[in-house]
Amino acid sequence: MSTKEAQKAIEVVAKDLPLHCPMPDMTSWNSHPRVFLDVAKTGSVLCPYCGTTYTLKAGEVVKGH
């Protein structure tokens, strides 16, 4: 898998929530405006700007506010 493909699929855990793209540890953290994504609702979400897919790690427990 190329680096570009690896960046397109990211597994997140509950401590990463609230989830936003780009994430702070991304090398291109300023590549597009920050957008908050609701990965807890369906377990997977696609960033509308860059197409990165975020998936909630299996078994993660998301606590409400």
Residue 1 has pLDDT above 60, yes or no: no
Is residue 19 in some structural domain?
yes
Is residue 63 in some structural domain?
no
Instruction: Enter the pTM of the model.
Output: 0.78
Is residue 64 in some structural domain?
no
Q: Are 44 and 58 in contact (CB under 8 A)?
A: no
| pLDDT tens digits along 52-61 | 999 999 999 8
Counting the structural domains of the chain, the total is: 1
Average pLDDT of the segment spanning 4-9:
62
| pLDDT tens digits along 15-31 | 999 999 998 877 776 67
Is residue 43 in some structural domain?
yes
Is residue 39 in some structural domain?
yes
Q: What is the pLDDT of residue 9?
A: 92
Helix, strand, coil distribution of the chain in percent, nearest 5: 20, 25, 55
Residues 6+ apart with CB under 8 A from 26: 7
| pLDDT tens digits along 27-56 | 776 678 999 999 999 999 999 999 999 999
Give the residue numbers spanning the domain of 52: 3-56
Q: How far apart are CA 6 and CA 37, in angstroms?
A: 19
Cis bond upstream, residue 33 (ω within 30) = no
Q: How far apart are CA 65 and CA 54, in angstroms?
A: 21
Is residue 65 in some structural domain?
no
Is residue 62 in some structural domain?
no
